[in-house]
Structures are given as structure tokens and as C-alpha cells.
Amino acid sequence: MSESGSSGRVQPAQAGDPSRIGPYRIVGRLGAGGMGTVHAGVASDGTRVAVKVIQPSQAQEPEFRARFRREVDMSSRVTGPYLVPLLTADANATQPWLATEYVAGPTLHEHVLAQGRVTGPSLYAFAAATAQALAAVHTAGVVHRDVKPQNVILTPSGPRVLDFGIAHGDDDTRVTRPGATTGTPGWIGPEQYRTGAAGSESDVFAWGALVAYAATGKSPFGTGAPDVVAFRVMSGEPDLDGVPAPLREIVLRALAKEPGDRPSAADAAEECFELLAAQLIQAMRADTLFTRAEDMITAVWDMPHVDDPAWPRPARRGRRPWAGVLVVAAAVIGGLAGGVVALMPGKPESGRHPTSNASSVPASSAPGASTPASSAAVSSPAGIPQPSGTGTGASTSVKLEQATSGRPASVESWADARSARGEGEHDVARAVLRDQGVLVRELGDAIDLVPNTVRFHASRGEVYLSYRLTSDEAGTLYAETEVAGLMCRTLRESVLRLHPELPYRAFVMVREATGHDPLVTWDDDFLTDARCTSADDDVSPAGAGPGWEPDEQGLGQAMIPSTDRDEIGVAGRATRRIIERTNGMRTALGTDRALGNAELKVGFDPSRSAMYVWSDYGTWNEQQAADWAGMAAGEACRALVRQRDSAGDAWPYSRYAVAKRGGSGYLMIRWGTAATLADCPA
């Protein structure tokens, strides 16, 4: 269902349309498609969303519902700057629905019809950004399956890939009808026509056709009856006349008949960013420096002004008074004596802890929702400190403090929160969903835990995780304690260490359940909660070399391209070796993405006689970054020693440092002095 109402013009609601779906007020329609209706929704803070409600005839099919539920679960893992993220969904409603961020702008299809093809540096930016978007999708283990011009929005800041309405996991064959082909003729690979199966390689094929369409204004396999187009896709050569020569070679490989002959989306993105960098060298001043791929896209992206009229905005409801938080006496449950929940030190009456929130959005307003049942209070594990005035067998009202506003987190503040914006928030969202996904696998079949979406409330300094959970009371408490502990550790790593410029200090967990109101179950300050610190928080960087210490000034010098032949040769050999070993460590590093020159770089600081290695890949956790840095330090050290053995005293470099991007700058992870090969890290 790709209709997204990208023009921004809201059609009036029709008889029978709901007034609210989940946390969103419905103000009209954006369109309709074969799967259902797309409603224009507005959150309480005015954020606009597209809410897609599945047709009853589709929803009645158990096979479809199973597929929809699985796709929602997997799509919630996907985040990136050139994607339209899934915000929330209810796969169990009578009419399942999902909500995505509303993005203003024409689709590529609409742009080509109205303005013509995409040209100049904007074309290279389009190719790089859309390939990067698909790489993010594939890294999450998802296949898009419907990459086409109608599913790419050209926003003022760059292209955005949308509609994961038929996305599948890489291993998903269980809910696909025999012989069924998912996708749009002309935008699916030959293997899909032959077998109906589609993987990430099929998305790359569609991406190649997409770039050709953007460059020429026409499909590379022409138009006509579906069987005619299918024949051309399977046996004909693509028409790439009009695609610029530098891009044509990449597009041609993407359109290879055999899936194994195509590049990965990550490799295609890397090559396109290199071409984009060449375009920037021609178009920008010589002293212009871009440290992020997104900056290159922004610098050259040139799209006509978007006519984006305001939507009708519903009147704000008055906030309901906070009804308090019921705390029940600690329940003795085996294995729960630890946990991360505790009162904040020095504030015995304002700690963060599991909560039962009486303020909620009525579930009955969502399509097909039943009358909500009353929400039970959440029991605290044995061994977890209780708020003052709470004793065994007693319950009392406890006042929570919010870090910035003085008001406790609630379902309404969750509804006010938004999806990730900017590189830092996207990194945080990816880290949370990645780590929670690992926890889901560890919990196994005993507990049905589904991390749903990550949202941000900047003014309150809160990161929200919504989730679904099916278990008995003991299992629920255990799972939520595990989720909270992991959330705390993940946010300390991704915010404190990697993105300290972000304004967040607290996390809030919201449990969603069909037939029940959403419920705030946990509210904790990850900055002050000492129980969720990692073992490395008080440890100095491993491999810190005596006598010198790298810094960002030296790294800045290393980022200046060298003209010295020996430096270029050593850097090139070290880079190739580090890239080769990094990609050999992908399983240990928790990624399927193949990294290259766009993410891993080597340079020299002559003033400190130091060689720097740095990574712009920001999604490793602390242990993964340390493992990678140890490997990179060893390769850097050996490269310096071998060059000195070859060139003698003429080679001035004896120090090395390894850094990775974190927050607004770089974090120095490992450094040392290259004396002999025996001294180099393994």
C-alpha cells in the first residue's frame, strides 16, 4: 500500500472513518490502495503521520495476519536518515494498522512526470542515499520487496524510501503463497519471476532500475503488459542510454540477471558516495570539508519547493490529572534479587522504578479494539528498594519526578514523543533495537517479547521504548526487568559515550496490548543509575601508549589528504588490510554490512609523528568497538614498523592511534608506539 499522500493535500474523512487510531487523531484521508486506507493522523504535539488501516477482507485471512505481524516486528528494527520509519502498529486489532512518519514531497514518479528526470549532482546524491537506505534495511535482516518510484519521496533534504508494507525477513518463506510474486512488474528481479523468492539482491536489482528511471525518466525495461515486461527483465538487456557513464557501470552490475553477480546495497552505496565526492570536488571550494555522508547529500540536493499546505489540527484535549502510581509489595520471585531498578541516590521519594500509569490513551479508539480491561499494578522484584512509606502488603501513591518538566512520564508524553531525527538519534534507535533483538533471542520461546518502536521526547529528555509482551505475571516482571536493565546499559553507551550532545537522560518503557490501554511500566534515569554502568565505565582505554596521547587536533591533521608518496602508500596498504579484516569480523561485530573506504580511513599527523585510523561507522557497541580497535591498532603498528624497516630513519612516523566516531566528534580507543613487530597488538 504505497499511497502516502505525499502532496500533503488531505481529503475529507468519509462516513465510518475512525476519529482516532491508537495515539493519533484522524483528520482526513491521504489515499487508498489495494491493502486498505491511508488516513491523515495528528499526534497531540501536532506531528503528522500516515496511518494505514488494512481492509477487513485482508485482515480476516490468518495467513495475511501472520505475515503482517511478522513484517511489523521486523520493520520496527529499521531506522536510518533516508527511510520513512515505522512509528507504531497494532497487528492484533480487528483491522490491523500501522503508522509511519508523514513526509512532505513528491514521489520520484510524480517528480519525473511533472519536472522531468533527476540530473547533475542531485542524481548521484539520489543513488547514494537510496542505496544507503536499502543497506540499513538489509542490515536489520529485512527485505523491502517493493522498491519503485512511487515508494521514494523527494523531500527538501534528500530522498526517503518508504512503504515496508510488504517487507519480509531474509529467511521468510513461511507465509508466502506458493507461486505468488510480491512486487511491481518492471521493478522486481528475474529470480522473483522464476521462483517467487526474493532476497536483498532483489532489492538491489530494483534499486538499479530505480536509479536508471531517475536518470532517464523511463523504466530500463520499458512498459507494456506485465508478461511482456517480465520477458524483458528475464532475458533482455536494460536500456541505460542517458545514465551518466560513472553511474552506468554500477547500475549495470545491479541489474545483473544472477543475484550473486550484483553488489550489496552497502557496496553500491559506498561506490555512489565516492562518485558523489568526485562531483563535490568539481562543484565546491577546495577548502570545503565534509565529515559525514549526509552532509554531502545536503550540499548538492536540489529539488523544487514543496507545496505542503497545513493539515487540519484537532483541538488539544485537556490533560487528565495524574492519578498516582500504585506500588505493590515486593514479590519473591527466583532470580530477581538483582535487577537495575532502584531509587535515585539522595531522593528517597522521587526514584525511578516500575510504574503503573493511570493516564492512558483509550484502546477502544483503535480500529477493532475491544473495551480495555483495568490495568493491574506491577509488582516489584524482591531485593529492589521500595519508595518510602511502602511496606509489604501495602500500596500507596508515589510521586515521580521527571528530569526536566517536573511531571512524571505518561502515555500522553509517549504520544507526544516522535521518531528519530538526525544521525545521533538514529544511532541510538538502532542500538536499542539491536540490543533488544538479542535479548528476545536469549529469552527464547518462554516469553513472547516484541520490541516495537523507539521514540524521543527532547524537551523532557526521555527515550521511549514501546513493546508487546505475552506471559504470566512472573514472566512479565522478569522480562521487563531484563528489558529495563538492557535499555539502561544501551543508552549509557549510545548517548553518554557516542552522542553526549543529545539532551536525553531518562528512558521510559510503554507496554502495548490489544484490548488494554497502553501502560507506562518503567521510568529510569540512566545517567544517575549506577546499577546499569558497564564494566568498562571506570577503566582507562586499553592500549593507551605511554608518553603521548592522541587528540582530535591530531586527527584533524590526519584528515587532510597527503601528497607524500610514502604516506599514501603506507595508508593505502594499511587501509586495505584493515578493511579486509574488518569485513572478516562482521559476525563478531554484529553486522552483515561490508565496510569500505567510506567508513574506514587512515591519515597522518606530521607534528606528532602519528598515524591515525578512524571509523565513521557508528553502530558498534562498546565491546565490538574495542575488538575492532585492537585489530586496527595491530595493523597500523605493523604497517609503521615495516615501512621504517624499509625506509630507515627517513620514515618519521612511529605512533599510531585508532578512533571511532562518537557524538559530535571522535573517541580515541587505542593508541601506542610502533617499536617492533613483536610489540604490535595481535
HEC string of 98-128 equals EEEECCCCCEHHHHHHHHCCCCHHHHHHHHH
Model confidence band, residue 251 (pLDDT cutoffs 50, 70, 90): very high
Query: How much is the pLDDT for 256?
Result: 95
The average pLDDT across 245-254 equals 95
Q: What gap in Å lies between CA 448 and CA 476, rounded to an integer?
A: 9
Q: How far apart are CA 494 and CA 670, in angstroms?
A: 19
Distance in angstroms (rounded) separating the CA atoms of residues 666 and 682: 24
- Average pLDDT (210-234) is 92
Q: Which positions ≥6 away from 266 have C-beta within 8 Å?
A: 131, 135, 138, 139, 593, 594, 595, 596
- The reported pLDDT for the residue numbered 1 is 44
Mean pLDDT calculated for residue range 563-587: 86
Q: Which three cell numbers stand for residue 409?
A: 512520564
Higher pLDDT, 166 or 611: 611
Per-residue pLDDT at 579 exceeds 70: yes
Amino acid identity at 464: Y
**Rounded Cα gap, residues 13 and 249, in angstroms:** 48
Question: What average pLDDT score do residues 101-115 get?
Answer: 90
Extract the C-alpha cell encoding 68.
503482517
Q: In angstroms, rounded to a whole number, what is the distance separating the alpha carbons of residues 333 and 104?
A: 50
Which of 125-134, 255-264, 521-530 bottoms out in mean pLDDT, i.e. has the lowest? 521-530
Structure confidence at residue 623 (pLDDT): 80
In this prediction, residue 296 carries a pLDDT of: 79
What does the alpha-carbon distance between residue 7 and residue 165 come to, in Å, rounded to a whole number?
20
Q: What is the pLDDT of residue 35?
A: 75
Highest mean pLDDT among 11-20, 44-53, 236-245, 354-363: 236-245
Confidence of residue 287 (pLDDT cuts 50, 70, 90): very low
> If pLDDT is split at 50, 70 and 90, which confidence band does 382 have?
very low
User: So what's the pLDDT on residue 638?
Assistant: 93
Half-sphere exposure of 434 (CA within 13 A, CB side): 24
- Give the confidence band of 421 by pLDDT, cuts at 50, 70, 90: confident
Q: Is 646 exposed, middle or buried (0-12, 13-18, 19+ CB in 10 A)?
A: exposed
Residue 70: pLDDT over 60: yes
DSSP H helices, 310-398, are none
pLDDT value at 271 more than 50:
yes
| Residue range 55-60: mean pLDDT, rounded | 83
Determine the pLDDT at residue 190: 92
Task: Please give the grid coordinates belonging to residue 582.
Answer: 574488518
Mean pLDDT confidence for 399-416: 66
Cross-strand pairs, 169:
142
Q: Please determine, for residue 356, whether its predicted confidence score (pLDDT) is greater than 80.
A: no
Average pLDDT, the chain: 75
When mean pLDDT is compared over 40-44, 126-130, 341-345, 485-489, the highest value belongs to 126-130
3-state secondary structure of 230: helix
pLDDT at 432: 86
pLDDT higher for 397 or 194?
A: 194
Percentage helix, strand, coil for the chain under 3-state DSSP, each rounded to 5: 35, 20, 45
Q: What is the mean pLDDT of residues 142-157?
A: 90
**Which amino acid, one-letter code, is at 135?**
A
More confident residue, 526 or 357: 526
Provide CATH 1.10.510.10 ranges for the chain: 20-300
Per the model's pLDDT, the better-predicted residue between 277 and 172 turns out to be 277
pLDDT per residue as tens digits for the range 603-640? 999 888 999 999 877 667 778 888 899 999 999 999 99
577: phi then psi, degrees, rounded to nearest 5 = -70, -40
Greater confidence (282 vs 290) lies with 282
Q: At residue 659, what is the residue type?
A: A
* Orientation of helix 200-216 relative to helix 108-115, angle to 10°: 10
The single-letter code of the amino acid at 284 is M
Please classify residue 581 by burial: count the beta carbons closer than 10 Å to its beta carbon, then call 0-12 exposed, 13-18 middle and 19+ buried. middle
Worst-scoring range by mean pLDDT, 5-19, 272-286, 637-651?
A: 272-286
* Environment class of 106 (CB within 10 Å of its CB; exposed 0-12, middle 13-18, buried 19+): buried
C-alpha pair distances (Å), 299 with each of 117, 120, 158, 241, 290? 19, 13, 10, 27, 9
Q: Which of 404-418, 442-456, 619-633 has the highest mean pLDDT?
A: 619-633
Residue that wins the pLDDT comparison between 342 and 265: 265
User: Among the listed ranges 324-333, 475-484, 518-527, which one has the minimum average pLDDT value?
Assistant: 324-333
Q: Which residues of 602-632 are buried (b: 16+ CB within 10 A; e: fewer)?
A: bbbbeebebbbbbbebbbbbbebbbebbbbb
Q: Measuring CA to CA, how many Å separate 445 from each of 63, 172, 174, 335?
A: 21, 18, 18, 18
For 144-148, 338-342, 437-441, which range has the lowest pLDDT when averaged over its residues? 338-342
pLDDT at 337 over 70: no
145's torsion region: left (phi>0), alpha (psi -120 to 50) or beta?
left
Region 197-207: what's the mean pLDDT? 92
CA distance 50 to 30: 8
* Interatomic CA distance for residues 592 and 596, integer angstroms: 13
The answer to whether residue 146 is catalytic is yes
More confident residue, 620 or 322: 620
Say how many C-beta atoms besides its own lie within 10 A of residue 126's C-beta.
28
Q: In angstroms, how far is the first alpha carbon of the chain from the final one? A: 52
Pairing of strands 328-331, 379-381: parallel
- Kindly write down the DSSP assignment for every residue of 560-596, as one continuous string: SPP--HHHHHHHHHHHHHHHHHHHHTHHHHT--PPP-
| pLDDT at position 346 | 31
Superfamily of domain 20-300: Transferase(Phosphotransferase) domain 1 (1.10.510.10)
In the set 146, 416, 525, 529, the catalytic residue is 146
Please give the full DSSP string across 248-302, using - where no structure is assigned.
HHHHHHHT-SSGGGSPPHHHHHHHHHHHHHHHHHHHS-TT----SHHHHHHHH--
| Half-sphere exposure (Cβ direction) of 468: Cα atoms closer than 13 Å | 16
d(Cα 135, Cα 125) in Å, to the nearest integer? 15
Give the separation between CA 134 and CA 116, rounded to whole angstroms: 24
Rounded Cα–Cα distance for residues 434 and 621 (Å): 10
Render pLDDT for 489-514 as a digit per residue (tens, 0 to 9): 889 888 887 888 899 989 999 988 87
**DSSP sequence for 382-438:** TTSPPPTT--TT---B-----TTTSS---HHHHHH-B---HHHHHHHHHHHHHHHHH
pLDDT computed for residue 116 by the predictor: 93
Q: Is the pLDDT of residue 20 over 60?
A: yes
Minimum mean pLDDT among 125-139, 140-154, 358-372: which range?
Answer: 358-372
Of 33-42, 142-151, 221-230, 323-332, where does mean pLDDT reach its minimum?
323-332
pLDDT over 90 for what percent of the chain? 24
- At 310 the pLDDT is 66
Q: What is the pLDDT of residue 349?
A: 32
Higher-confidence position of 342 and 439: 439
Question: What is the mean predicted confidence (pLDDT) over 369-381?
Answer: 30
Over range 586-595, report the average pLDDT. Answer: 76
Q: What is the pLDDT of residue 13?
A: 84
Instruction: Measure the CA–CA gap between 43 and 22, rounded to whole angstroms.
Output: 10
CA 365 from centroid of its chain's CA atoms: 29
Selection from 74, 68, 90 nearest residue 22 by Cα: 90
The answer to whether residue 129 scores a pLDDT higher than 90 is: yes
Establish how many alpha carbons lie within 13 A of residue 589's alpha carbon, considering only the half-sphere containing its beta carbon.
23
Q: Other CB atoms closer than 10 Å to residue 445's CB: what's the count?
A: 5
Evaluate whether 609 touches 656 at the Cβ level (below 8 Å).
no
Contacts of 249 (CB under 8 A, 6+ apart): none
SS3 662: strand
